[in-house]
Amino acid sequence: MSETRGILAYGAHVPYWRLDRAEIGTFLGVSVGRGYRAVASFDEDAVTMGVAAARSALAVSGVGAPNAIWFSTVAPPYLDKTNASVIHAALRLDVSVPALDFSGAQRSAVGALRTALEGGGSTLVVAADIRAGRPGGTEDGGGGDAAAAVLVGTPDDGPLLAEYLGGATATAEFTDRWRTPGDVHSRTWEDRFGEQAYAPLGRMAWSDALATTDLAAEDVDVAVVTGLHTRAVRKVGSGLSVAVADDRTSDVGNSGAAHPALLLADVLDAAEPGMVVALVVLADGCEVLLFRTTAELPNRRPARSVATQVAGRADVPYARHLSWRGTIGVEPPNRPEPSRPSASAALRRTDWKHGFVGSTDRASGITHLPSSRVGIGGGEVDDMDPAPMAETMGTVVTFTVDHLAYSPSPPLVFAVVDFDGGGRIAIELTDVDPAEVATGDRVEMTFRRIFTADGLHNYFWKGRPVRS
């Protein structure tokens, strides 16, 4: 490479909800193993989780806006529309910043990361997945929902917290995992086949990566080894002759396209400066990426580590998890379902709808949510300054638990929130136990899917309790 490139920032999102795998066994009368899997809430999808991870990465001090944003998932909310553009809007990036999708397979995510590391400019690579399978299957119990984001660039873009040393790739065509158009769930060949196919590819890519970077195995401090075939991952990991990081399958599950970046973030959360970290991904071949952490790492970690998010959780019953994924239907409140959101109205108010930008009256200093052209105290028309509120915390003034209003997962918790520094809004709360909401609760904003009607997703912001 002609210039030094590496990681400028990173962030991760692990949903608040967890499913105890024992619940699956009790519900279905089958054995699915022990531990927990992360469960995206009913109002989360790959895009909203991607926004959460991206916000975490870009919140690092000294990191500017990326020159491009690339989004990868195997579970896109839209199949014939750019999903990355929604993340772009939620992050309030300039219209000149391209937003592109890298989709179709787990390898697409690590491929996007590799391309960014070997390309030019600063690129925000976001990966997210919701792993849903047939009840009782390996996807259902062994999968997990999560997102991660990695900002890649050069020292000209900001201090590197990990330098990219190089890597290697091995590609082969074999059908171990597939989903054809129209299929809801992916299908897999038996694990033994994956082990036979991946093991030699992993050895080849590992050897080539060490040779390319002039490193020996003993120079590597820790390796992240991941893929969707458990036996193949164990086989390849045991043959590296280096320490292998926890793959988080016992408390998060395998999050598919997001898992390589999620595990890399987890390692970086605890790594010391000067450590060599290897990322080994088994997906339609093998990708190996090698990094060396810098003295900047301890000062540039995200506010919430992966371990912190894993520890902060609440359990969700298996039946509710199935209803959130649409596997079983539940009777909705006896109210009309929402109409399709207006694309033209969303375009006109995208700063508000996606960016959560209000307006502050220059004369009175009053913040209006949503934005307004005229202040509530009168005054001049359009005498307003933009008021971005997505990063501002607030306090619950009053609330209601509504069992009659439409919600994909009733009851709906609605609150009036006063924001720090001014501004008030009536807004839905999420990731809450209705019995535990109280006046005075502190909330932060999170980007979520309000509902889906006629194939169109209606995204907006909700309040979420501030937790340590």
Structure tokens at 226: 């991941």
Q: Residue 30: its pLDDT value, please?
A: 80
State the CATH number of the domain containing residue 224.
3.40.47.10
Cis omega before residue 408 (within 30°)?
A: no
What single DSSP character describes residue 257?
Answer: G
Residue 36 lies in a domain: yes
Taking the CB of residue 420, how many other CB atoms lie within 10 A of it? Answer: 11
Residue with tokens 């164990």: 234
Least confident of 108-122, 129-143, 229-243: 129-143
445 Cβ contact partners less than 8 Å away, ≥ 6 residues apart: 356, 389, 390, 391, 392, 394, 461, 462, 463, 464
75, 206: one domain: yes
Mean per-residue pLDDT, 239-265: 96
Overall pTM surpassing 0.85 (yes/no): yes
Instruction: Give the alpha-carbon dihedral of 421, 427, 428, 429, to 10 degrees.
Output: 20
- The yes-or-no verdict on residue 455 having pLDDT over 60 is yes
Q: Residue 1: its pLDDT value, please?
A: 44
Domain count, the chain: 2
**118 pLDDT tier (thresholds 50, 70, 90):** very high
Rounded to a whole number of angstroms, the CA Rg of the chain reads 23
**CA–CA separation, 204 and 278 (whole Å):** 15
Residue 318 lies in a domain: no
Residue 329 lies in a domain: no
Q: Residue 293: its pLDDT value, please?
A: 98
- The yes-or-no verdict on residue 411 having pLDDT over 80 is yes
Q: C-alpha angle with apex 202: 200 to 204, nearest 5 degrees?
A: 70
226, 362: one domain: no
34, 117: one domain: yes
Longest Cα pair distance anywhere in the chain, in angstroms? 74
Query: Whole-number mean pLDDT of the chain?
Result: 93
What single DSSP character describes residue 377?
Answer: T
Instruction: Give the alpha-carbon dihedral of 234, 236, 237, 240, to 10 degrees.
Output: 160
Rounded to 10 deg, the angle between the 259-270 and 106-117 helix axes is 50
What single DSSP character describes residue 299?
Answer: G
Residue 220 lies in a domain: yes
Among 371, 419, 366, residue whose Cα is nearest residue 396:
419
In which region does residue 138 sit, left (phi positive, over 0), alpha (psi from -120 to 50) or beta (all else)?
Answer: alpha
Question: Of 296, 322, 352, which residue is a domain's last?
Answer: 296
Q: Model confidence over 20-31: pLDDT tens digits?
A: 999 998 888 887
- The yes-or-no verdict on residue 333 having pLDDT over 80 is no
Residue 309 lies in a domain: no
Percent of the chain predicted with pLDDT > 70: 100
**CA–CA separation, 125 and 279 (whole Å):** 15
b/e per residue 389-410 (b: at least 16 CB within 10 A):
bbebebbbeebebbeeeebbeb
Mean per-residue pLDDT, 388-412: 94
Question: Of 261, 296, 331, which residue is a domain's last?
Answer: 296
Q: Residue 377: its pLDDT value, please?
A: 82
291, 365: one domain: no
Residue 429 lies in a domain: yes
- The yes-or-no verdict on residue 213 having pLDDT over 70 is yes
Higher pLDDT, 136 or 309: 309
Structure tokens at 272: 């010391």
Cα 24 to chain center, whole Å? 25
Q: Which domain holds residue 348?
A: 343-465
**CA–CA separation, 468 and 465 (whole Å):** 10
**CA–CA separation, 266 and 14 (whole Å):** 11
Residue 307 lies in a domain: no
Q: Residue 449: its pLDDT value, please?
A: 97
- The yes-or-no verdict on residue 64 having pLDDT over 90 is no
Higher pLDDT, 120 or 460: 460
167, 284: one domain: yes
Q: Residue 181: its pLDDT value, please?
A: 85
232, 369: one domain: no
Within 13 Å, how many C-alpha atoms sit on residue 133's CB side?
Answer: 22
- The yes-or-no verdict on residue 195 having pLDDT over 90 is no
**CA–CA separation, 374 and 377 (whole Å):** 8
261, 157: one domain: yes
Q: Residue 139: its pLDDT value, please?
A: 84
- The yes-or-no verdict on residue 155 having pLDDT over 70 is yes
268, 377: one domain: no
Is residue 20 within 8 Å of 161, Cβ to Cβ?
A: no
**CA–CA separation, 24 and 235 (whole Å):** 28
- The yes-or-no verdict on residue 432 having pLDDT over 80 is yes
Q: Residue 91: its pLDDT value, please?
A: 97
49, 169: one domain: yes
361, 285: one domain: no
13, 115: one domain: yes
- The yes-or-no verdict on residue 391 having pLDDT over 90 is yes
**180 pLDDT tier (thresholds 50, 70, 90):** confident
**103 pLDDT tier (thresholds 50, 70, 90):** confident
Percent of the chain predicted with pLDDT > 90: 78
- The yes-or-no verdict on residue 274 having pLDDT over 80 is yes
φ and ψ at 433, to 5 degrees? -95, 115
Question: Of 241, 264, 296, which residue is a domain's last?
Answer: 296
Q: Residue 289: its pLDDT value, please?
A: 98
28, 164: one domain: yes
Residue 417 lies in a domain: yes
**CA–CA separation, 10 and 107 (whole Å):** 19
Least confident of 14-28, 178-192, 303-317: 178-192
